[in-house]
Amino acid sequence: MHNQIPVSSTYGAQFGSQSAYAPETATLPIELREAVDTALQECFDKIYCSDELLGNKLTQVKGPLDSLSKRHGILLEEAIAHSFVAAAGDRYEVQKQVGVKVSREAMSLVESNQLAKLEGLNFPIDNTHGKKAMIDIVVFDHETGDLHVISVKRGGGAQGGSEARNARSDLMAAGLMLKNHSLRKGLPVLAVRQVLVDWYGRSGIVGRPTVTRTTVDEYFGIPISGFVEAMSAYMSSSIAQRMMPRLMTAIGGTSQMTDRPTENESRPPLRGKSDTSDNAYVRTNPTVRPSLAECLSDLPLRRQGRQMRRVCSS
C-alpha cells in the first residue's frame, strides 16, 4: 500500500498566510519535524569506521555529513508532498513512492518516440514482463483532473549516463501507465503531467518539463519552495548544533596526538637496494625483461574515462 500524506486540514490555512520565500517565518508540520529529527539522530548516533587517512575524529565529522546530504533528498520528497495538502487541503490526493511495473512495449515506445506523440496514449499496467519503476510522488488534482507524476532529484551534482536516461524514460512510461490504470479504476483523469523536480538544478538529467526551486511554485501554482526551504533551514540549523561538539573535538589540542604516531613509536627501517631479507624476490636475469608497458599492452583500453598512461619522472 502506498504512503498517503497525513496533513491536518487546518495547516493549509495557516501556511497560506506565510511568505513563499520566508523559511524563517514558515511553521513546519510535526510530521516533517519528526522526519528531520529521525534522520539526524540516525546519522549522529552511528559510529563510523575510522578512515586511516583522516583519523577517527575527523571521520566522525565527515561520516554524518556524507549521509545527511543523501537523506536530504528523501526529505525533499517529503516536504514537496506535504506542501500540496498544506496549500490546498482536499483539492489534492497525494501518494509517495508508487511502484509501477513498466512493460517492455511501453519502454520501447518511449525510447523511440517524441513526447508529443505519446501524450494521448494509455498503456496497460497489468503486463507481467518489464521493469519496476519507483515514482517519488503522484498527485491527483480534483479540480483540473490532472495526474501529476513527479520525480524528485536533489540536484546537488551531475547524474549522467544510463542512470539519467533511465530516469527520463521511466518517468514518461510510468506516467502513461498510471493514467490508464487510474481511468480503469474510475478516477476521472483528464491529463497526465510528468515532471522532474531538479531542486538545485544540477542533476544533469534533461526532462520535459524540468522545474527547480525557483520555478516550482509557478509550475504547480501553489507555494512549495518556501515550505521546502523551511524544512531545509530547520535541518541545517539542527546539523550545526549537533556538529559543533564534534568539530571542537576534532580540532582540539589533543587530536593531533591521537591521530598520528608519536615520536616514541618505532618505525620499520627503510630497506636498502641490496637488502634481500624477508624472502624478497631476487631477479635472476635482470638484463632480459620486458617493460611494464609491454606487459600491459595487450589489455583492452577503457572506452571512456581515465586511460592507462605512463607516469614519467619530473
Q: Which residues, 6+ apart, have CB-to-CB distance to 126 below 8 Å? A: none
Pairing of strands 191-198, 210-211: parallel
Per DSSP, what are the bridge partners of residue 132?
101
Distance of alpha carbon 114 from alpha carbon 152, whole angstroms: 22
Cα 17 from chain centre: 31
Q: Are 224 and 211 in contact (CB under 8 A)?
A: no
Q: Which residue matches cell numbers 556538529?
A: 243
Nearest to 203 by CA among 233, 240, 160: 160
pLDDT per 10-residue tile (average), the chain, 314 residues: 52 42 59 90 89 87 87 92 87 90 75 63 63 88 93 75 68 83 87 91 76 94 92 90 86 50 50 51 60 70 63 61
Round to whole Å and give the CA distance between 81 and 31: 12
Which among 195, 173, 204, 180 has a CA at the least distance from the CA of 111? 173
With CA atoms as reference, report the closest residue to 192 among 215, 167, 209: 209
Dihedrals phi, psi of 113, to nearest 5 degrees: -135, 155
Q: Where are the alpha helices (DSSP H) in 17-160?
A: 30-45, 56-88, 104-112, 115-118
Contact at 8 Å (CB) between 94 and 85?
yes
Angstrom distance (rounded) from CA 173 to CA 110: 6
Count CB-CB contacts under 10 A for residue 200.
13
Q: Report the 10 Å Cβ neighbour count for 78.
A: 22
> How far lies 231's CA from each of 2, 7, 135, 217, 256, in Å?
23, 15, 22, 16, 37
The answer for residues whose C-beta is within 8 angstroms of residue 185's C-beta and 6 or more apart is none
112, 114, 171, 250, 286 from 160: Cα distances, Å: 20, 20, 16, 35, 47
